[in-house]
Amino acid sequence: MSEVLHPSILLFTGALVVAVLRGRLQQGVMLLVAAALIWLVFSLPSGVFGATEFLGIELSPMRVDKLSLVFASVFAIITLVGAIYALHVKDTPQHVAALMYAGSALGVVFAGDLVTLYVFWELMVFTSVWLIWCRRNPASMAAGFRYLLVHALGGIVLLAGIILYYLDAGTVQFAEIENTGLAFYLILIGFLLNAAVPPLGAWLADAYPESTVTGAIFLSALTTKTAVYTLIRGFPGTELLVWLGVVMALWGVVYAVLANDIRRLLAYHIISQVGYMVAGVGMGTIMALNGAASHAFTHILYKALLFMGAGAVIHMTGRAKLTELGGIYRYMPVTFLLYMIGAFSISAFPLFSGFVSKTMVVEAAALDQRAWVWLLLSLASAGTFLHTGLKLPWFTFFGPDRGLKPREAPLNMLVAMGIAAFFCVFIGIYPQWLYAMMPATVEYQAYTSGHILWELQLLLFTGVGFFVLLKHVGGEPKISVDTDWVYRKAMPAIAGGIQRVGGAAWQAMLGTLMHKLTALVTSVSAHHGPQGILARTWPTGSMVLWVAILLAASLLIYYL
Amino acid sequence: MDLGRLLQAMVERGVLLRRIMYVVLAGLVIADIVVPSKYDRFPWESIGGFGAFYGFISCVLIIVVSKALGYLLLYRSEDYYDE
């Protein structure tokens, strides 16, 4: 770009430098790049930069406007938080992948056309998968390959959509997608897959819990939220999304009840929270879209905080299951308290960030008189507090004492969590800071007596329900099947069946052929073989005899 | 660490905390009944204490329905996918 530096270029260059450095120098450069990114993003002027024409297609690789800046700002903050959280990690591929991944996500957010968007979209997949593989165990290798395949498929659908859209609409500019038929739906499916909308969302809860402790912070923040950005930009007011969003919010809640792995529980609550954003996009009113964007902003911060808290527990205890954890609050009190700030934020307690964003989406449903949407999103809200605010911390930090005596998490992890926690409280107390960034003017009052009383009652009485049913809500040493069952069990079983049946048929066909072939060979060898009638030697004597007979016959015929 | 001890002291006074919580809960419901409702877009918004009822019911419903789905349909042994 001639006029301004594209943030992705900063991060890609930074990743290259980080790749060749080691030790303190590497840590320093990581922090420097992340800090420079925040400065760069917060000082970007609005406008379209580097517009060019390629093969007759108008490309605008960098478009800066309010909507893209909302997401870019929070991506930049979380890149710094994630870099600090991962500072102790001595694993260069992870650091490089994380920076490249963040750079790719920013590339999507700033892409002014669908071609640029597609390039960065695919780059996100190939950079993020390393954050899963770098856990370096068989489960993460397998989960990483599934993640890659699912996203590769989603990418193909998206590409097909973009090409068709170009043929239909004659443009690849990324604005609201016109409903031209198939192209509209293909692009939508591509976006929905990355937003982890059921039934296309099982990759998230499959892969994220298998990622590295520090990689999960980047994963939880970037992929689904870039997808939310693309939905806000491309599909505002698509009615279908309202109901997909509601289903999503509840889907995540149900699976979180069943989850035993703490990061899988949190992963399902990403799906649940993104449901609010998707529903907001579907409603499409100014308040709903502002709500979706601000909820994405707060969500990235509190969800990263929650993943950092869970990651710190896994890092210090080596355990990740509710049924194996318990009683460690005395040993990790700072981690516990910081985690709880994230938990209060995601649950939308007043004075915490979720309250000023989630209630905006719910309020938008009320203004639209969508009673069912309102009730079901409120129900999901109760579920959020139930799992993230009660079940997970109770059975991880309190609950039965398993004799674990971990030390407190390392300082860099606590500092990273502290920064995220600061933003969660700051936004909760001073929502105007967040609202000022929104694409449209926010005319929403979060702190009214009505909202506060409703939310507090809803959440605290959810707490009553939790303690009443305490015996039944703990984790169980089981896993629950999601739609990834289709490609992890059903399709392999079908393929196995095809292999077995097909193999048997092939063998049978070969058998029949062999039989015929053998018969043929036998008959040929009977005539032509060493003992065959046609292979006998012809004695010269019989030849002379035959010649004599023929001569005699011709003589006879001559005289006749 | 001091923070850990502080938390431990609070946990040891769990009964007291629980009683304080009861007072808070009761206070909330009373406040919701006393304070005139600000919204009336849905009929239930003007019912005092509806939030408390809905929160409790939601919690029970979520646990019961999810666990039922788990046992009837979704739960598998942990090595289900390893073969």
- What is d(CA A270, CA A274) in angstroms, rounded to the nearest whole number? 6
Token pair listed for A271:
């799906």
Residue B83's pLDDT is 63
Backbone phi, then psi, for A173, in 5-degree steps? -55, 135
In a domain, B43, yes or no: yes
Length of chain A: 560
**pLDDT tens for each residue of A41-88:** 999 999 999 898 888 888 999 999 999 999 999 999 999 999 999 999
pLDDT at A417 over 90: yes
Which pLDDT score is estimated for A351?
96
**Is B39 inside any structural domain?**
yes
Interchain CB contact of A330 with B (< 8 Å): yes
Distance CA A123, CA A146 (A): 17
Are A480 and A202 contacting, i.e. CB atoms less than 8 angstroms apart? no
- Name the β-bridge partners of A466: none
User: Residue with structure tokens 């009730």?
Assistant: A375
Q: How many domains does chain B have?
A: 1
- Examine residue B60 and state whether it is found in any structural domain, yes or no: yes
The SS3 of residue A503 is helix
Q: Could you report the per-residue pLDDT of B11-70, keeping only the tens digit for each?
A: 889 899 999 999 999 999 999 998 887 788 888 888 888 999 999 999 999 999 999 999
Q: How far from the centroid of its chain's Cα atoms is residue A551's Cα? A: 96
Q: Which residue reads 């922090």 in tokens?
A: A31
Contact by Cβ (8 Å): A306, A388 = yes
Q: Which pLDDT band holds residue A535 (cuts at 50, 70, 90)? A: low
Would you state the pLDDT for residue A523? 87
Per-residue pLDDT at A1: 44
Q: What is the per-residue pLDDT across A136-184, written as a single tens digit (0 to 9) for each?
A: 999 999 999 999 999 999 999 999 999 999 999 989 999 999 998 999 9
Q: What is the mean pLDDT of residues A6-27?
A: 95
Q: Which residues of B2-39 are buried (b: 16+ CB within 10 A; e: fewer)?
A: eebeebeeeeeeeeeeeeeeeeebeebbebbeeeebee
For the ranges A22-36, A53-67, A104-118, which has the lowest average pLDDT? A53-67
The Cα–Cα gap between A546 and A439 comes to: 110
Closest CA–CA distance from residue B72 to any residue of chain A (Å): 11
Mean pLDDT score of chain A, rounded to an integer?
Answer: 94
Residue B83 in domain: no
| Nearest C-alpha neighbor of A236 from the set A67, A65, A432 | A67
| Nearest beta carbon to residue B78 from set A375, A459, A477 | A477
Distance CA A25, CA A294 (A): 36
- pLDDT value, residue A324: 93
Whether residue A488 contacts residue A146, with contact meaning beta carbons closer than 8 Å, is answered with yes
Provide, as residue numbers in chain B, all residues whose Cβ is less than 8 Å from the Cβ of A453.
28, 31-32, 35, 51
Q: Lowest mean pLDDT of A2-6, A102-106, A345-349, name the range.
A: A2-6
Nearest CA in chain B to A473: B63
In a domain? residue B81: no
Percent of residues in chain B assigned helix, strand, coil, to nearest 5: 75, 0, 25
Q: How confident is the model at residue A391 (pLDDT cuts 50, 70, 90)?
A: very high
Between CA A79 and CA A404 the distance in angstroms is 32
Q: Contact A202/A483 with Cβ under 8 angstroms? A: yes
pLDDT at A400 over 90: no
B59 touches A at CB < 8 Å: yes
pLDDT at B2 over 90: no
B66: contact with A, CB 8 A cutoff: yes
Strands (E) in A103-241, as ranges, are none
Q: Does A257 touch chain B (CB under 8 A)?
A: yes
**Does the residue B35 lie in any domain?**
yes
Task: Report the alpha-carbon distance of residue A113 to residue A176 in Å, rounded.
Answer: 11
Residue B80 inside a domain? The answer is no
Residue A2: is its pLDDT beyond 60?
A: no
Do A392 and A326 meet the contact criterion of CB atoms below 8 Å apart? no
Q: With 50 as the cut, is the pLDDT of residue A299 above it?
A: yes
CB atoms within 10 A of CB A462: 28
How is residue B18 written in tokens? 């629980």
To which residue do tokens 């939905």 refer? A231
d(CA A299, CA A195): 14
Taking CA atoms, A531 is separated from A518, A521, A527, A540, A542, in Å, by 18, 14, 8, 19, 19
CB-closest option in B51, B58, B63 to A472? B63
CA–CA distance from A458 to each of A142, A144, A462, B28, B77 (Å)?
41, 39, 6, 10, 34
Task: Report ipTM (2 d.p.).
Answer: 0.94
Task: Tell me if A299 sits within 8 A of A273, measured CB to CB.
Answer: yes
Domain holding B14, by residue range, is 2-74
- The whole-angstrom separation of Cα A341 and Cα A347 is 10
Q: For residue B77, give the chain A residue with the closest CA.
A: A478
Alpha-carbon torsion A530, A534, A539, A540, what sign?
A: negative
Rounded Cα distance between A211 and A323, Å, is: 20
The confidence score (pLDDT) of residue A74 equals 97
Rounded-to-integer distance, Cα B77 and Cα A478, Å = 5
CB contact under 8 A, B76 and A481: yes
- Looking at residue A525, its pLDDT comes to 83
b (16+ CB within 10 A) / e for A207-228 = bbbbbbbbbbbbbbbbbbbbbb
Is position B23 within any domain?
yes
